């Protein structure tokens, strides 16, 4: 069976297969800031509430409420989930509905993702590793002020940066980067999908082979998608 990513568009949560076929999971989502994926759960940040969604049937339940205003960012890897709230505070979330404050000062974050048990953030153009147990961080590199999307896949980081819409891979240990492909001029989402990346560029979905940057179109008409996520493996 083809792998699936998940997108919210027009208030509907969709499962989209890598062959382009899609199905509706549930409706009534309104404004969704961010999605994350763990085993058997989609995490959806809708305004001030976090929901847990069954990716098979679309049923949902409230995880927690009262997260305040402002853009909030979820990131997950394995079964670990972190949240940066609208005030720049970092929290670790548990499936049980509990959460734990870790640190603050993340108001400048423009991209946030996880891979292979590690978390990474772009904050004011600088790439950091974020430690999920303590909330501490490690600086990796700078010059990322124009990142429009990022994803983690198989332990590597992938980032789309302007000008030029270049897709980069960045080493998670050193921050060293190299260009993978170019001309991703209007990419708003970059998602893992098992051994591939999926990019939403304008209204078109592309599947990208990360090793050589080759790509193919897998869908279109997704220009209003607000948020998305896919599986690391």
Q: Are 76 and 116 in contact (CB under 8 A)?
A: no
Rounded Cα distance, 7 and 101, in Å: 28
pLDDT at residue 163, rounded to an integer: 77
Rounded Cα distance, 29 and 10, in Å: 8
Q: How far is CA 177 from CA 69, 130, 142, 143, 167, in A?
A: 34, 18, 11, 11, 10
- The answer on pLDDT for 96 being more than 60 is yes
Q: 3-state DSSP call for residue 222?
A: coil
pLDDT per residue as tens digits for the range 57-94: 899 999 999 998 888 999 999 999 999 999 999 999 99
Confidence of residue 19 (pLDDT cuts 50, 70, 90): confident
pLDDT at residue 1, rounded to an integer: 53
Provide φ and ψ at 146, rounded to 5°: -115, 30
Rounded Cα distance, 221 and 225, in Å: 9
Residue listed under structure tokens 């989209």:
16
Asked if omega into 183 is within 30° of 0 (cis), the reply is no
pLDDT per residue as tens digits for the range 167-200: 999 999 999 999 999 999 899 999 999 999 999 9
Percentage above 90 pLDDT, the chain: 85
Q: Are 50 and 82 in contact (CB under 8 A)?
A: no
Rounded Cα distance, 198 and 128, in Å: 23
pLDDT at residue 18, rounded to an integer: 87
pLDDT per residue as tens digits for the range 202-231: 999 999 999 899 999 999 999 999 999 999
What pTM was estimated for this model as a whole?
0.93
pLDDT per residue as tens digits for the range 111-154: 999 999 999 999 999 999 999 999 999 999 999 998 988 999 98
Q: How far is CA 223 from CA 50, 151, 152, 187, in A?
A: 24, 19, 23, 10
């Amino acid at each position: 069976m083809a792998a699936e990513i998940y997108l919210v568009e027009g208030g509907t949560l969709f499962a989209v297969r890598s062959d382009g076929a899609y199905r509706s999971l549930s409706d009534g989502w309104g404004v969704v800031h961010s999605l994350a994926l763990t085993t058997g759960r989609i995490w959806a940040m809708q305004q001030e509430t976090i929901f847990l969604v069954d990716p098979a049937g679309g049923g949902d339940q409230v995880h927690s409420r009262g997260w305040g205003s402002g853009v909030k960012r979820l990131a997950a890897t394995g079964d670990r989930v972190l949240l940066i709230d609208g005030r720049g505070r970092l929290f670790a979330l548990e499936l049980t509905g509990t959460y734990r404050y870790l640190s603050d000062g993340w108001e400048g974050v423009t991209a946030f993702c996880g891979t292979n048990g590690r978390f990474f953030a772009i904050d004011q153009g600088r790439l950091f590793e974020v430690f999920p147990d303590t909330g501490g961080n490690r600086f990796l590199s700078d010059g990322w002020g124009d990142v429009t999307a990022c994803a983690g896949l198989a332990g590597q980081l992938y980032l789309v940066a302007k000008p030029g819409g270049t897709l980069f891979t960045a080493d998670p240990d050193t921050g060293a980067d190299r260009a993978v492909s170019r001309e991703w001029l209007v990419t708003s989402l970059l998602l893992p999908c098992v051994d591939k990346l999926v990019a939403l560029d304008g209204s078109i979905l592309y599947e990208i082979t990360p090793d050589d940057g080759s790509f193919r179109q897998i869908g279109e008409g997704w220009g209003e998608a607000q948020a998305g996520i896919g599986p690391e493996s």
